[in-house]
Structure 1
Amino acid sequence: MLTRQDFPLLTVTDIRRLEQALFEIEESYAVMQRAALGLFEVITGDFPQALPGQTVHVVLGSGNNAGDGLEVATLLKQAGFSVIAYCVFEQPFSGDADEAYIIAKNTGVKIGSFFSFDCGDDDIIVEALFGIGFDRPAKGLVKVAIEHVNLTKKQQPNVTVYAVDVPTGIVADTGARLGECVMADKTVTFIADKIGLHTSDGKGAAGKVIVKDLGADLCHAHRSATHFYYTYRQREVPQHGNRHKGNFGHTLVVGGNQGMFGATALASVSALKVGVGKASVYSHPDYHSQFHWRGTPLYEVMRCLDISNIAAYSAIVLGPGLGRNTWGINTFDQVIEQLNKQRLLIDADGLYHLSNLSTNELDGLIESSGIDVITPHEAEAARLLDCRIDAIRADKPIAVRQLAQQYRCIAVLKGAGSLISDGEAVWINTTGNINLATAGTGDVLAGMIGGYLAQGLSPLEAALYGVYQHGLAADTYLAKYRQKSMRASDLWQFFHKTAPS
């Protein structure tokens, strides 16, 4: 049995409000010093003492983020590290950063204008350009500095890059990348965790995220937060007595048009792998007598030969391999007409047909039986919301909330740091890796969530847990094989056999 724990992710507006509350009870410079100390503790936790010939390169903007960088430069210099700071802008530092500059210089930190510095194999780069204030594409020397940091890391993988608060180039509220962005090994973020560090391009750019709250009172922010990341904590699994397969639901996967049966095979077996009692497939007639997956008969998966009566099924997964031809259109329409309070997940080509419904048809579907979960990727989301894909990528938290509101269901927006919304709150998944960027993994996810729906989980819990376990299986695969070589069906061997309470 597992229980979910939610952790708040705050917007820049929330962070600014908490920051001002801190400044009302103590000097802003003291808060900056505490931020630098937090960053110093992370760096010295990785490097308890300077290695022979090791240099710390601190790349500075001009505002508070630069002040944090200058303060940590001072602390590292005092701890015996060789430190060089590079000023990207010619204008003097402002506010607290100016005081930090004077102290760093007096401590012996070398400070000069930015140039393309050379790094040794074990050197450290601290990126302190913009932080949460970044809201436009980098240009000029800022762009050059970002490119140099990334090129250095690419050429010398042992160099460690720390981003201060948020990697420059990433929008803190969305994770969207505005042009070039710093690719960090670790991001030390202050006051509270940010949305953009866990989704979209921000997930990859931030690396490992470490939060230093600086003593901020997060109680009010926790009550008002509508964005979360989440995890599950395993507890003892209860052993049920007199129960049989009929107690664990029946999932029907509808799809498998000509040439696309593999999608339904992946989804139906995935439903079984997460514990559903029975799984069936309704597919194109070409496959009624050839029920195989890679040459192996699907003995455990049942055939559904007549879609005119689906009352026996607990949950329907509509769309894997469905296709967009006449058979796909007719099959979609038949399922929608037959629905009678079964749980419904729509994925893949099912989403294409959903987007083609008129307003009256969509309202009729929602009012009669409803949709429980939709699982689009970015392009499918753009079609569902009738917008450009760039608009989806620019603000995924807004997009997933709009999907949930428009279709009155739980929406899963797939991608790096997949997002799940009930129309009000947004949850960001923290499991998963690049191995999921392969054909068929979306079908596996649809089958998993469909399996959990059939077993009686609420649509929200089925989506949250399915996305989490899907990513966790990929993480377990990567930990074992340490390369991008996974096929979608490889996920099955790493599924956990427990279900959430």
Structure 2
Amino acid sequence: MQNLPVKLYRAAQVREMDRIAIQECGIPGFELMGRAGYEVFHCIKQHWPKARSLAVFCGSGNNAGDGYIIAGLALAAGLTVCVYTLSEPEKLNGDASLAYRKYSEASGMVMPFQAGQIIHADVLVDALLGTGLDRPVTGLYAEAIQAINGHSSPVVAVDIPSGLNADTGNVMRCAVKADCTVTFIGLKQGLFTGQAADYCGEICYAQLAVPDEVFSGFKETATRVVKSQLPRRDRCAHKGSCGHVLIIGGDLGYSGAARMAGEAALRVGAGLVSIATRPEHSGLMNLNRPELMCHGVETAAQLAKFLEKADVVVLGPGLGQSTWAKTLFNTVKIAEKPMIIDADGLNLLANARAAKPNWILTPHPGEAARLLDCTIADIQQDRFAAVLSIQANYGGVAILKGAGTLIASEQQLAVSNSGNPGMASGGMGDVLTGVIAGLLAQGLSLQDAAQQGVYHHGLAADLAAAKDGERGLLASDLMPYLRQLVNE
């Protein structure tokens, strides 16, 4: 991924930016269309320099106009080009109509798209549907998308893969699976979370020389998380000045979760980590990680003395929902310490319905659905709305895990795109919780600890996968990379 802007917008905001650039900044619409077409064709030449033929799929709006510009540039460069149109090009309006006429005057080939026709091309260009899509894709457009996805050649999407919702990242029944998406003017928030991860491919950005002042009138709806350097550690630092994390969890049969969270907190720099767990586990949990201080806890009174010493509390890894778990949950819930609630801690919270300003909640979609008393499908339908709703109802910082993890605080909504499918294995969430706790213990704010914790966690997984592959990646494989990353 290229060095993309940090700010993300809704599709309506970007369309308004486009209007301002044309009507108030005096940039002709056809000039913007030409710049967009040039950027896509430049992308094609960079990614597939040996391509000698292009198939461009055009719909009925300005996205189609971009497609005709791209086709014209390819034709002028000596490539074999055919535009497959899903609407009568003579009925195009405005700048799109002008783009078609110029391509036609250059003797460009145009054919009506028909399902089942054989298409020969080295690269396919998706210029079917733009960012304004608000209904499921059906009919001939669905057939065209199926044909594009069934072709063996690489695909470039113009602004957004057709069929993808620009605001939510959801697929509107079907969508083009692109190898590369070239998006214009402002980054659309839906390109960075949910199902978009499987459809956008590499995201490339082009501002199209729109003046910076155009953007100043718009408040971003979300931001991309980028890696920030952690504060330099004082030469006189000691274990007491680097934070004490208390992890509460590890019911019978689930000791590994709390242990991994504890090691992760140490690996990112926490000075001390204590684990309050079942007495049956306390003597065994630190056998191969003696730096962890493990304590058997059965009652609220026993837990209280460990809570008093902690700077940051973690509740949930391997906690379960037994009477023991509920006792510990009720004790922690009223504590005033900064805390991270994860796993079964979240499931218990869903029944308790409490709100606190000083905690971080880390649900996956299933846990989020329980917190909001809805279905997983409801959560995934609009992940941005879901994470904002969790934050509004429960306070603090809410993290909605998944492809394009979202982090919502009262001040900011952010999305992190580090990580890979190899992370779909047990224990990854426990490691994330430990990472966030370790950063929080060292003095980062709740928002910064959540954002940088998510980002570093995903980046560690990316480094581990780059070495040995995604499949078979274990949560514990991240540990050496976490240490590496926090020291860069």
| Length-normalised TM-score, structure 2 | 0.92
> Contact 2:337/2:358 (CA < 8 Å) preserved in 1?
no
**Match of residue 77 from structure 2:** 79
For residues 222-255 of structure 1, the C-alpha deviation after alignment (integer angstroms, 9 at most, x for no partner) is 56223111212559x8463222211111111111
1:252 partnered with 2:249: no
> Contact 2:420/2:461 (CA < 8 Å) preserved in 1?
yes
Alpha carbons of structure 1 residues 428 and 500: separation in structure 2 relative to 1, 3 Å = farther
> Contact 1:251/1:451 (CA < 8 Å) preserved in 2?
yes
Aligned residue pairs, count:
474
**Match of residue 350 from structure 2:** 355
SS across alignment from 1:304: strand
1:443 partnered with 2:443: no
* Matches of 1:215 and 1:356, distance apart in 2: 52
1:336 partnered with 2:337: no
1:322 partnered with 2:319: yes
For residues 45-100 of structure 1, the C-alpha deviation after alignment (integer angstroms, 9 at most, x for no partner) is 2234x54xx42111111110011001100000100111111112357333322222
Alpha carbons of structure 1 residues 240 and 423: separation in structure 2 relative to 1, 3 Å = closer
Give the aligned residue type for 2:86: V
SS across alignment from 1:466: helix
Alpha carbons of structure 1 residues 500 and 486: separation in structure 2 relative to 1, 3 Å = closer
Choose the corresponding residue for 1:188, options 164, 173, 182: 182
1:312 partnered with 2:309: yes
1:37 partnered with 2:20: no
**Match of residue 86 from structure 2:** 88
**Match of residue 142 from structure 1:** 141
1:163 partnered with 2:157: yes
Q: Report the alpha carbon displacement of residue 289 of structure 1 after superposing the two structures with TM.
A: 2.8
> Contact 2:346/2:371 (CA < 8 Å) preserved in 1?
yes
Structure 2 unaligned blocks of 5 or more: 297-301
> Contact 1:402/1:423 (CA < 8 Å) preserved in 2?
no
* Matches of 1:345 and 1:239, distance apart in 2: 24
Write out aligned runs for 1:83-482 (5 A). 83-90=81-88, 92-115=91-114, 116-118=116-118, 123-152=122-151, 156=152, 159-219=153-213, 221-222=215-216, 224-234=219-229, 238=232, 240-291=234-285, 297-305=288-296, 306-309=302-305, 310-337=307-334, 339=335, 341-358=336-353, 362=354, 366=356, 370-482=357-469
Between 1:276-285 and 1:344-353, the stretch displaced more is 276-285
Give the aligned residue type for 1:423: E
For residues 381-428 of structure 1, the C-alpha deviation after alignment (integer angstroms, 9 at most, x for no partner) is 121122222221121112111211211101111000101111342111
Q: Report the alpha carbon displacement of residue 22 of structure 1 after superposing the two structures with TM.
A: 1.5
Q: Report the alpha carbon displacement of residue 497 of structure 1 after superposing the two structures with TM.
A: 4.3
**Match of residue 299 from structure 2:** none
Q: Report the alpha carbon displacement of residue 291 of structure 1 after superposing the two structures with TM.
A: 1.9
Give the aligned residue type for 2:154: T
* Matches of 2:366 and 2:474, distance apart in 1: 22
Give the aligned residue type for 1:31: L
Give the aligned residue type for 2:223: F
Alpha carbons of structure 1 residues 233 and 76: separation in structure 2 relative to 1, 3 Å = farther
* Matches of 2:233 and 2:280, distance apart in 1: 42
Structure 1 unaligned blocks of 5 or more: none
* Matches of 1:79 and 1:160, distance apart in 2: 19
Give the aligned residue type for 2:261: A
> Contact 2:20/2:214 (CA < 8 Å) preserved in 1?
no
Q: Report the alpha carbon displacement of residue 461 of structure 1 after superposing the two structures with TM.
A: 0.6
> Contact 2:251/2:277 (CA < 8 Å) preserved in 1?
yes
For residues 93-129 of structure 1, the C-alpha deviation after alignment (integer angstroms, 9 at most, x for no partner) is 3332222222212223221111345456x81010011
> Contact 1:371/1:407 (CA < 8 Å) preserved in 2?
no
Q: Report the alpha carbon displacement of residue 473 of structure 1 after superposing the two structures with TM.
A: 0.8
* Matches of 2:47 and 2:445, distance apart in 1: 42
> Contact 1:251/1:276 (CA < 8 Å) preserved in 2?
yes
| Length-normalised TM-score, structure 1 | 0.90
* Matches of 1:219 and 1:374, distance apart in 2: 37
SS across alignment from 2:352: coil
Instruction: Using the aligned pairs only, state the percent identity.
Output: 36
> Contact 2:10/2:221 (CA < 8 Å) preserved in 1?
no
* Matches of 1:26 and 1:405, distance apart in 2: 41
Give the aligned residue type for 1:323: G
Give the aligned residue type for 2:304: S
> Contact 1:465/1:500 (CA < 8 Å) preserved in 2?
no
* Matches of 2:260 and 2:166, distance apart in 1: 36
* Matches of 1:255 and 1:90, distance apart in 2: 64
* Matches of 2:410 and 2:181, distance apart in 1: 30
SS across alignment from 1:98: helix
> Contact 1:321/1:349 (CA < 8 Å) preserved in 2?
yes
* Matches of 1:109 and 1:398, distance apart in 2: 45
Alpha carbons of structure 1 residues 219 and 444: separation in structure 2 relative to 1, 3 Å = farther
* Matches of 1:217 and 1:500, distance apart in 2: 38
For residues 204-228 of structure 1, the C-alpha deviation after alignment (integer angstroms, 9 at most, x for no partner) is 3111111111222344535622311
> Contact 2:361/2:399 (CA < 8 Å) preserved in 1?
yes
Alpha carbons of structure 1 residues 126 and 438: separation in structure 2 relative to 1, 3 Å = same
For residues 154-184 of structure 1, the C-alpha deviation after alignment (integer angstroms, 9 at most, x for no partner) is xx3xx22100001111111111122111111
Q: Report the alpha carbon displacement of residue 200 of structure 1 after superposing the two structures with TM.
A: 0.8
> Contact 1:432/1:471 (CA < 8 Å) preserved in 2?
yes
> Contact 2:157/2:182 (CA < 8 Å) preserved in 1?
yes
Give the aligned residue type for 1:318: L
Alpha carbons of structure 1 residues 55 and 117: separation in structure 2 relative to 1, 3 Å = farther
> Contact 1:6/1:230 (CA < 8 Å) preserved in 2?
no
> Contact 1:401/1:425 (CA < 8 Å) preserved in 2?
no
* Matches of 2:376 and 2:39, distance apart in 1: 38
* Matches of 2:155 and 2:312, distance apart in 1: 47
* Matches of 1:473 and 1:141, distance apart in 2: 43
* Matches of 1:420 and 1:238, distance apart in 2: 25
